[in-house]
Structure 1
Amino acid sequence: MNRAGIIHTQQHHHLYLTSSHEAIIRIQVPKGEGVNVTVIHGDPYNWKDGSWQATHTEMKLLQTDDLYDYWSTSVSMPYSRMRYGFKIETTTEAFFYTERGFYTERPAEISAYFCLPYAHETEVFSPPTWVKNTVWYQIFPERFANGDASRNPDTTLPWGSESPTPDSFFGGDLEGVIQHLDYLQQLGITGIYFTPIFEAFSNHKYDTIDYLSVDPHFGDEDTLRTLIQESHKRGIRVMLDAVFNHSGYYFAPFQDVLQHGENSRYKDWFHPFELPLQPEGDRPNYETFAFVSSMPKLNTKHPEVRQYLLKVAKYWVEEFDIDGWRLDVANEVDHDFWRSFRNEVKNLKQDVYILGEIWHQSSPWLQGDQFDAVMNYPLTDAIQGYALHQQSSQDAQIALTKHVMSYPASVNAVQFNMLDSHDTARVLTTSNENKALVKLQYTLLFSFPGSPCIYYGDEIGMAGENDPGCRACMIWDETKQDKDMLAFLTQLIALRKRHSAFGTYDELSFLHSEDPAVLHYQTSTADETLYFVFNRSLETKSITLPKENQEQWIDLFSETTISPTFSLEQESFRVLQLKRTS
């Protein structure tokens, strides 16, 4: 076989701890080689009569993509340390794979084996347990509801009277959210993610003026405290958004540098190429977010900047009991700052959820020392590739498998999964107003590990192109709401909460499909097995259930029994539960 295709790196997607006495080990081998894989493992100090006392544990084929088979197993470490290697067998040969390469005979000396020196409890990835069962609702505060007109900016427009623009205001505030908490509770929401609420110049508030004050257009500290308390009464967690990569133009230290240049005590808080600063033109002479002169990049290496921002991080946790931080442009801030950030907030409240805005593969931030999760746009891309861009079910399976296998299961369980956000076109718009495909995508989203999020208004059929179109005023006139979509998402959320194999399962098995438009897979826990099948095409498809207990499958949405072979209408799906017999 092609030994160059055998990969084990000891990085966290190949080796990770579930406790200080148990580890998950994975290895990739070339697809379809017909191998058996065994992991040889043991305590490095456990010798008897000059022989290392090792255990042989068979590995299980976990997933397959276009290039690799992914094998996995769990091993125990009574003394929290381990040496290990692999025995790989084909029909014609058997050999051993270790840190030092390949051997035809099992190495007698343990120095050749992979080494886990000691499994410290502090190195176990331990995200908050509540997150994997949370259904989020993202709110752009300026556009959700106007509950206190006395706080309206002078230029406030009547609610929903115009299409949004980059600088328009409609008076949305925190009181408006408080007045609609019962609505969110009835929908089934258990977490609210707010885009920034701190004092800022713009309507989006990503250009912070004062990180320690609620924007007066949104309310005050008492309003926020009431919102959080009322949310918690309803079982709803609250996550705030912070921008530590850059400040706003009117942030006092930046204004000081603009005014005093070389003589400003804050000049090292930022990254000037030269002084005085020159905000005008396409390329300001200081580092910024992108090339936006009103968003100067902060120097998070500077001791005073770090002290200030860490004070901010602790303040809103300690004083207001927030449940999470979403961190804007997180991949452009240094890792050392994020390690300090995590230590500070976790010491105050251990189960605070730390979510980084990163759009790409994010392993360096998800080792357990920085973030709990990132915004899972790669999953969004994989779902849209199949549902909207005519990607075959086989290619979709490959994309989904590569993504899931790039992280430990403990990471996947708390990723922040969404179909759209304030930074993208709305899902109804990307779906060309096709509500059937919106429902199909949401069911896909909710069926995968992670913490799903609904962007405000998607549940009642709001559409909108990229910013600013995706930031329109929430529609509260019930005669203009899509009640069918609202009922569907309410039911979907309820099913996710009710069924252990719906998103938080133990095993995922993709099933082969001859039809490029049909994607199907099974999920299972100790309590149940679910079968998901999707048909994104414009044709009705004939589906045959897996052979086991064919007559025992029940449709979760209709609560009816399904025959072994059934028709799946165009642009539709089924979620079926295996009815277990005693």
Structure 2
Amino acid sequence: MPAWIEHAVWWHVYPLGFVGAEPELAAGAPVIHRLPHLHAWLDYAVELGVSGLALGPIFAASTHGYDTIDHFQIDPRLGDDTDFNALVEAAQARGLRILLDGVFNHVGRDHPAFQDVLHRGPQAARAKWFRLSWPRGTAPGIEPDYACFEGHRQLITLNHDEPEVADHVASIMKHWLNRGIDGWRLDAAYAVPRRFWSGVIRRVRSVHPDAYIVGEVIHGDYAALVRDTGMDSVTQYELWKAIWSALNDCNLFEVAHALDRHNGFLDAFVPLTFVGNHDVTRIASRIVDERHLPHALAILLVCGGTPSIYAGDEQAFRGLKEDRIGGDDAIRPVFPETPAGLAPYGWPIYRLHQTLIALRRRHAWLHLARTRTLHLTNAQLVLSVGDETRRLLLSLNLAEEGVLLPAPGARSVEAGEAVVRQAGTPNAQVSLGSQGWAILKA
């Protein structure tokens, strides 16, 4: 894993939604220079405390960006190469790294390779790029059956056993790394054979050893996938689910159990952690009691991992993901031209993010920190977070009543509101108010 990732906190942006792009790319549509919209938000991201932009799809695609047409072209709804170069330059001038979203499990139906299949039949030059089943009497113009991504017929699965596909993906990844990006998020990484990733990533790392590569993995054996593929990390969906579920159910045993598993992951790799992204209901909508939002953020930004903040979550944006056409629209909204256009009620949560991210940046060792449970009930939790020489304490209270919890060795309050009694002693305690939380220096 590249050394720089120890200090990384990502601000995750879904560009097509952020800039208000059209839902579909019309044939022959002119380039619209919308990527510069992001420039007005770079200082906002720096002031938030993040160190990089994790961008959703930016390549030419038919609709939502995950139905790619051309991996070497910026989506005309966003701009062109000049706009991309300017964004990279502006980000780098502020010390922000860039992570791109690589959709390499599948392409859209409008991808030229698949369109050639539809027009020329089995004789198409790149027919072997796909898993096709041809009816008898096949002739040009007859559509084959084909493998697709999770039943979505607009997303044509690539044939990852075909060497030309591996060559193509490796060339894409190296091309954009050469253009100044710092790494890749591999979309639907769980759906691609591990041997494919292993070969491609090895080729990419031979040229770009400091590239950060993280795979989207929802469930399964995270550590084995990292080991077998050569990825640096995968998305930590287990912890994401445990955080909001435990807070909603007032069952902190669930998050304690998830953090125990998280410790095991940290022995093998450092997961990408989050409480929101472009594919899930906004955390401010997911949390039933809004008073528990700070608890979720405290867990995210104190525990080991590489944290990612989904743009808008730092302003407590709301939005429900729904399983229907257009069901992602609410969680992928248009942003104002500048941060000055944001509603006033989100800024307290922004400032809380600033506080917690600043704490994490002061204690970069939290990247690898393990947790140990010191006190646990359904409604209260005290964690030791750190290693043998450095540690913080995280204390949570979900009850309506204030509580006095054990906090051995606690010296002072780093974040949150609490009172430490018998500070610096083995008998130290922390007093939390109703629905309170605190991060303590020990």
The answer to whether TM tops 0.5 is yes
TM-score range, shorter chain: 0.7 to 0.9
Distance 1:199 1:495 in 2: 39
Match of 1:257 among 117, 134, 148: 117
For residue 492 of structure 1, the aligned residue among 352, 356, 359 is: 356
Question: For 1:573 and 1:387, how far apart are their aligned partners in 2?
Answer: 12
Q: Determine if the alignment matches structure 1 residue 418 to structure 2 residue 274.
A: yes
Which position in structure 2 is the counterpart of 1:216?
A: 76
Alignment partner of 2:72: what SS?
strand
> 1:270 is matched with which residue?
130
Determine the structure 1 residue equivalent to 2:413: 555
Equivalent residues in 2 for 1:421-500 (5 A)? 421-432=277-288, 434-466=289-321, 467-475=328-336, 476=339, 477-500=341-364
Distance (whole Å) between structure 1 residues aligned to residue 150 and residue 246 of structure 2: 31
1:339 maps to 2:198? yes
The code of the aligned residue for 1:230 comes to: A
Amino acid at match of 2:399: S
Query: Contact 1:138 / 1:192 at 8 angstroms: preserved in 2?
Result: yes
User: Following the alignment from structure 2 to structure 1, what is the Cα–Cα distance between the partners of residues 229 and 276?
Assistant: 28
Question: What is the TM-score of this pair, normalised by structure 1?
Answer: 0.67
Question: Which protein has the larger Cα radius of gyration, Structure 1 or Structure 2?
Answer: 1
SS at match of 1:542: strand
Compared CA separation, residues 287 and 155, structure 1 to 2 (3 A): closer
Q: Which of 368, 373, 386 is the equivalent residue of 1:510?
A: 373
Would you say the 8 A contact 2:130–2:156 is kept in 1? yes
Choose from 154, 163, 172 the match for 1:312. Answer: 172
Say if 2:398 is the partner of 1:536: yes
- Residues 299-355 of structure 1, C-alpha deviations (whole Å, 9 max, x = no match): 12112222222211111112x121011111111112222112212221222110111
Partner residue in 2 for 1:358? 217
Partner Cα distance (1:497, 1:530) in 2: 14
Inter-partner Cα distance in structure 1 for 2:250 and 2:418: 31
Question: How much has 1:267 moved relative to structure 2?
Answer: 2.0
Structure 2 SS opposite 1:543: strand
Q: Which amino acid is the alignment partner of residue 390 of structure 1?
A: C
In 2, distance between residues paired with 1:278 and 1:296? 19
Which of structure 1's runs of 4+ aligned residues deviate more than 6 A? Answer: 277-281, 558-561
Pairs aligned (count): 418
Once the 2 structures are TM-superposed, how far is the Cα of residue 394 of structure 1 from its aligned partner?
Answer: 3.2
For residue 192 of structure 1, give the secondary structure of its aligned residue in structure 2: strand
For residues 493 and 219 of structure 1, do their structure 2 counterparts lie closer, same or farther at Cα, with a shift above 3 Å needed?
Answer: same
Q: Which residue number in structure 2 is paired with residue 321 of structure 1?
A: 180
Question: Given the superposition, is the C-alpha separation of residues 383 and 133 from structure 1 closer, same or farther in structure 2, using an over 3 Å criterion?
Answer: same
Alignment of 1:122-161 (within 5 A): 127-145=1-19, 153=22
| Aligned twin of 1:296 | 156
**Residues 1:520 and 1:423: Cα distance change in structure 2 (over 3 Å):** same
Q: Summarize the Cα distance change of 1:215–1:527 in structure 2 as closer, same or farther, 3 Å threshold.
A: same
Deviation string 1:246-266 (CA, Å, 9 cap, x unpaired) is 011110010011112233222
Question: What residue is the counterpart of 2:324 in the other structure?
Answer: none
**1:408: how far off?**
4.6
Which amino acid is 1:135 matched to? V
The structure whose residues are more often helix, as a share, is 2
Q: Name the CA shift for 1:277/1:252 in 2 (closer, same or farther; >3 Å).
A: farther
Question: What CA distance in whole angstroms lies between the structure 2 residues aligned with 1:545 and 1:263?
Answer: 71
Shift in Å, 1:278: 13
Any idea what the Cα deviations from partners look like across 1:519-553, whole Å, max 9, x if unmatched? 1111234664311111123332222332x4xxx62
- Aligned partner letter, 2:13: I
State the shift of 1:154 in Å: 10
| Structure 1 residue 179: Cα displacement | 2.2
Partner of 1:10: none
SS of the counterpart of 2:375? Answer: coil
User: 1:398-418 CA distances to partner (integer Å, 9 max, x unpaired)?
Assistant: 23213422x353513xx1101
C-alpha distance in 1 between matches for 2:361 and 2:140:
53
Q: What letter corresponds to residue 484 of structure 1 in structure 2?
A: P
Higher relative contact order (CA 8 A, sep 6+): 2
Give the alignment's TM-score, normalised by structure 2.
0.87
Give the distance between the partners of 1:277 and 1:400, measured in 2 at CA.
Answer: 56
Aligned residue identity for 2:279: D
Q: In 1, Cα distance between the equivalents of 2:71 and 2:3?
A: 29
Residue 56 (structure 1) aligns with: none
Secondary structure class of the residue paired with 1:338: helix
Partner SS state of residue 308, structure 2? strand
Match of 1:285 in 2: 145
Offset of residue 291 of structure 1: 1.3
Residue identity in the other structure for 1:215 = D
Partner SS for 1:293: strand
1:176-187 residue pairs with structure 2 within 5 A? 176-187=37-48
Amino acid at match of 2:222: S
CA contact (8 A) 2:246 2:253 kept: no
Is the CA contact (8 Å cut-off) linking 1:313 and 1:341 kept in structure 2?
no
User: In structure 1, what is the Cα distance between the partners aligned to 2:395 and 2:14?
Assistant: 34
Shift of 1:139: 0.4
Unaligned runs of 5+ in 2: 26-31, 322-327, 423-428
RMSD: 2.7
> Which position in structure 2 is the counterpart of 1:18?
none
**Deviation per residue, 1:191-231 (Å, 9 max, x gap):** 111111000111x2100000111111111112112211221
Q: Any gaps of 5 or more consecutive residues in structure 1?
A: 1-126, 147-151, 157-170
DSSP 3-state at the match of 1:388: helix
